[in-house]
């Protein structure tokens, strides 16, 4: 399996980063620096170029440097396919993206070519937080692994927004609203089907990952819980049946935009039974499961971004994780304030992050 790797990364005007030019190692990379100097922002820039969204949930405007006109990212990625060049320019009123100099046309081509997996402190909410974060996990994988998924997700969102806007009108017109039932059912049922299959495939991957992070693998169960069926005809019928309720609530109530991925731990909802430490390990296992599934489905090893792992995991789990990453052959970027963490990744290239600038140690 051929790992994806970033060979060049330039970032300017993204958060506090200015004039960053990195030539990362194909293996381990450690970004060391004090609090608030820009370490997470480097990972966020990489993941933004790869996913077109911020893993910290920031809006485009929040990502642009306070004193910058625009945020610019250039990222070259090599791997199983010929090297690709991602270029992004985020301004306050516009966003320009090119892949190899052209506007990207296919979501799968864009997202699979720079597949990366992030593990960051906010991931505790994967287990304990709202369903939206778990849906986002599924969607992250599916846009990279299933042809047409990114397009279906976009079309579904567009139809949903249009239908909801009609539902909020002062005198809603049922006929106009129902005109959106066809695209909603078509794309919505496709999203439900893909997510259901993925949830099923994530179970063995999560068990393997739990074993890797030294938790009991059999305790976990994952199940996608759709509120409308993955069958287009049944989906359409459910929309029609729910119209009176939708009119009363002024919202489309059924569909994959509100679904959840249930995480069960020893037979009970993980959010209520898992201890703090188990929750951390579970969140990490879900991210490693994301990596394993992407590896199997895209036939390449994703890039791994580990934000502040040492604050999330104890030393032994951190060492275990680094060993595992080494065995997978993945390119990895680790941020930390603790120089001792760098020692756990032998052979890694070290960078110092200070006041929005990044310099390679010893060079
Ligand atoms: N749009 C922006 N423009 C300029 N600076 C910003 C912007 N958004 C955030 N910052 C600042 O950028 C700095 C770097 O933040 P970042 O989260 O990357 O730090 P960090 O090195 O990961 O810190 P920690 O070790 O505490 O996690 C912070 O001081 C933050 O306040
Ligand atoms: Mg940080």
Which tokens belong to 318? 């951190």
The burial of 54, by beta-carbon neighbours within 10 Å (0-12 exposed, 13-18 middle, 19 or more buried), is given as: middle
Which tokens belong to 107? 């979501």
Cβ–Cβ < 8 Å for 73, 17: no
Distance between Cα 286 and ligand 1 center (Å): 26
Mean pLDDT, rounded, for 357-363:
89
State the average pLDDT for the chain: 94
Count of other CB atoms within 10 angstroms of residue 211: 13
Between β-strands 332-336 and 28-32, what pairing exists: parallel, antiparallel or unpaired? Answer: parallel
Distance from C-alpha of 220 to C-alpha of 128, rounded to nearest angstrom: 15
**363: pLDDT strictly greater than 80:** no
Nearest ligand 1 atom to the CA of 353 is 21
Fold of 126-301: Glutathione S-transferase Yfyf (Class Pi); Chain A, domain 2 (1.20.1050)
Mean pLDDT, rounded, for 88-101:
96
- Phi/psi class of residue 205: alpha, beta or left (left: φ > 0; alpha: ψ in -120 to 50)? alpha
Superfamily of domain 1-115+307-363: P-loop containing nucleotide triphosphate hydrolases (3.40.50.300)
- Over residues 175-220, the pLDDT tens digits come to 999 999 999 999 999 999 999 999 999 999 999 998 887 778 888 9
**Does the pTM of the predicted model rise above 0.75?**
yes
**349: pLDDT strictly greater than 90:** yes
Starting from the CA of residue 336, give the closest ligand.
1
Which tokens belong to 125? 């909410």
**6: pLDDT strictly greater than 90:** yes
Q: Is 336 in the pocket of ligand 1 (CB under 6 A)?
A: no
Domain ranges in the chain with CATH number 1.20.1050.90: 126-301
Domain ranges in the chain with CATH number 3.40.50.300: 1-115+307-363
Cβ–Cβ < 8 Å for 60, 39: no
Distance from C-alpha of 52 to C-alpha of 111, rounded to nearest angstrom: 9
Mean pLDDT, rounded, for 158-177:
96
Nearest ligand 1 atom to the CA of 63 is 1
| Percent of the chain predicted with pLDDT > 70 | 100
């Amino acid at each position: 399996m051929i790992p994806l790797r970033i060979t060049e990364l330039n970032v300017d005007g993204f958060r506090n980063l200015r004039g960053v030019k990195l030539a990362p190692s194909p293996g381990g990379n450690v970004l060391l620096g004090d609090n608030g100097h820009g370490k997470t922002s480097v990972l966020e820039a990489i993941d933004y170029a790869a996913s077109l969204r911020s893993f910290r949930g920031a809006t485009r405007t929040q990502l642009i440097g306070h004193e910058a006109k625009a945020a610019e990212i250039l990222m070259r990625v090599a791997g199983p396919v010929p090297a690709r060049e991602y270029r992004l320019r985020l301004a306050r009123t516009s966003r320009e993206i090119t892949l190899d100099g052209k506007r990207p046309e296919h979501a799968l081509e864009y997202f699979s070519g720079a597949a990366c997996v992030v593990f960051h402190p906010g991931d505790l909410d994967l287990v304990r937080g709202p369903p939206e974060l778990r849906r986002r996990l599924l969607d992250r994988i599916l846009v990279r692994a299933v042809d047409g998924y990114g397009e279906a997700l976009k079309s579904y969102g567009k139809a949903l927004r249009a239908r909801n806007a009609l539902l909020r009108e002062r005198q809603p017109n049922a006929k106009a609203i129902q005109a959106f039932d066809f695209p909603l059912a078509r794309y919505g049922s496709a999203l439900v089907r893909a997510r259901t299959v993925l949830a099923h495939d994530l179970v063995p991957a999560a068990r393997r990952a739990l074993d890797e992070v030294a938790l009991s693998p059999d305790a976990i169960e994952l199940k996608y819980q759709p509120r409308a069926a993955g069958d287009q005809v049944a989906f359409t019928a459910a929309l029609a049946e729910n119209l009176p309720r939708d009119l009363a609530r002024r919202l489309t109530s059924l569909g994959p935009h509100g679904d959840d991925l249930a995480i069960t731990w020893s037979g009970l909802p993980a959010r209520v039974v898992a201890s703090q430490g188990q929750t951390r390990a579970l969140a990490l296992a879900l991210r490693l499961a994301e990596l394993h599934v992407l590896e199997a489905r895209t036939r390449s090893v994703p890039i791994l971004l580990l934000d502040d792992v040492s604050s999330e995991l104890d030393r032994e789990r951190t060492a275990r994780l680094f060993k595992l990453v080494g065995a997978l052959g993945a390119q990895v970027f680790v941020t930390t304030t603790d120089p001792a963490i760098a020692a756990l990744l032998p052979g890694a290239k070290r960078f110092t992050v200070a006041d929005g600038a990044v310099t390679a140690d010893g060079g």
